[in-house]
Amino acid sequence: MAFDLRRALLAKEEKDSARLMDFEFRQRARSFRLLAAILDIDPGMLGREIALHDDPAILDALANDLPISREDLALHYARCRAEAYRQLVGELGDPTPHRLG
């Protein structure tokens, strides 16, 4: 039985892709949960929105519904996204793919 390098590389790519997609989803969900805490709104509502809309659409809707400018909201979101990344790296490790060799 010979080692199949192609199959090993495809399996690695599949695992890396799944791990990165999982990390990205967790970061997105946590970012909006942190933002909800800052804005004092229901985090469950924002959790439902991430399944239906992209980030700019959610931020636009929040800016329309809340007494906060879109620029301030974007600044809060950027800080929440950075904090979510920091927290997740602490919990799960660095999401960047491991290099072969």
pLDDT tens, residue by residue, 53-76? 999 999 999 999 999 999 999 999
The answer to whether 46 touches 32, Cβ cutoff 8 Å, is yes
Provide long-range contacts, Cβ within 8 A and 24+ apart, for 3-10.
9/100
Q: Are 100 and 8 in contact (CB under 8 A)?
A: no
pLDDT digits (tens, 9 = 90+) for 11-57: 888 888 888 899 999 999 999 999 999 999 999 988 889 989 999 99
CB count in 10 Å sphere of residue 81: 18
**Mean pLDDT (whole number) for 70-87:** 96
Nearest CA-CA partner of 52 in 36, 32, 72: 32
pLDDT at 101 over 70: no
Q: Which of 72, 70, 87 is nearest to 31 (CA)?
A: 87
